[in-house]
Amino acid sequence: MPSNDVRTLLQTAVPTAATGLVAAVVSAVVAGGKGALGAVVGTVVVIGFMGIGMFVLQRTAKSLPHLFQAMGLMLYMAQLLLLFMLMALLKDTSAFDFKAFAFTLLAATIVWVAAQARGFMKAKIVYVEPESSKGEKPQKAGSSS
Give the pLDDT confidence of 5-45 residue by residue, as tens digits. 677 788 889 999 999 999 999 999 999 999 999 999 999 99
56 vs 144: CA distance, rounded Å: 41
Q: What are the residues whose beta carbons fall under 8 Å from the beta carbon of 141, sequence distance 6 or more?
A: none
Q: Identify the pLDDT of residue 37.
A: 94
Residue 134 has pLDDT above 90, yes or no: no
Q: Identify the pLDDT of residue 1.
A: 57
The alpha-helical segments, DSSP class H, found in the chain are 3-31, 33-63, 68-90, 98-122
For the residues 103-114, what does the mean pLDDT come to? Answer: 93
Task: Determine whether 125 is exposed, middle or buried from the number of CB atoms within 10 Å of its CB (0-12, 13-18, 19+).
Answer: exposed
For the residues 116-123, what does the mean pLDDT come to? Answer: 82
Q: What are the residues whose beta carbons fall under 8 Å from the beta carbon of 116, sequence distance 6 or more?
A: 8, 11, 12, 50, 54
Give the highest mean pLDDT range of 58-62, 124-128, 136-140: 58-62
